[in-house]
Amino acid sequence: MPSYIQDMMARVAAMEIEALATITSGAFDAVKYWPYQQEVTPYMTNRLGEMTPDYDAFTEDIEQYNHTILMRIVVDHVTAGYAGDKADLAYQYAQAIETYFREHPQLTTNAGSYTTVPNYLQELTRLISHTGLVVFDNGGIGALQLGIEFTLQIPFLREAY
């Protein structure tokens, strides 16, 4: 049985695929981990960010954990060359991600394996920021990437005992 973190990461990747299906005509990959690289763009990677617990939110045996997931959309590798067209695509993708996650704040998808709300979710998820259009310098994968990284906050409950 997957942990709540594994479930959360899988749900986010499935949500990203669904969010961008209409723009990319279904030719879009999202993985629940990072580092990752593929030649076909666009694609998304996800990595677990910081977690801040709130030990006093409920009772002594239930704690609220506020996790963040860093969702990165890679529009292209910088070495591919572009003249503004990739930036325009990034803006379309950003708007689709923002809209989808606003409309699906309970980590659910419209179809597939994640149509029900997970029992660990305490409050609604929310995008709390993004980097804007940037170049990612990734040591180890050998490619400079053009894209946007979003920060998604996911609050949920855990039993302390």
Query: Vertex 113, ends 75 and 105: CA angle to 5°?
Result: 65
Question: Domain range holding 138?
Answer: 4-159
Q: What is the pTM of this model?
A: 0.91
CATH of the domain at 103: 3.30.2000.10
Total domain count for the chain? 1
What is the total residue count of the chain? 161
Neighbours of 151 (CB within 10 A): 16
Instruction: Please list the pLDDT of the chain residue by residue as tens digits (161 residues).
Output: 679 999 999 999 999 999 999 898 888 999 999 988 888 999 999 999 999 988 887 777 888 899 999 999 999 987 766 677 888 999 999 999 999 999 999 999 999 999 999 998 988 999 999 999 999 987 666 778 899 999 999 998 887 76
- As a three-state string, the secondary structure of 67-126 is EEEEEEEEEEEHHHCCCCHHHHHHHHHHHHHHHHHHHCCCCCCCCCCCCCCCCCECCCCE
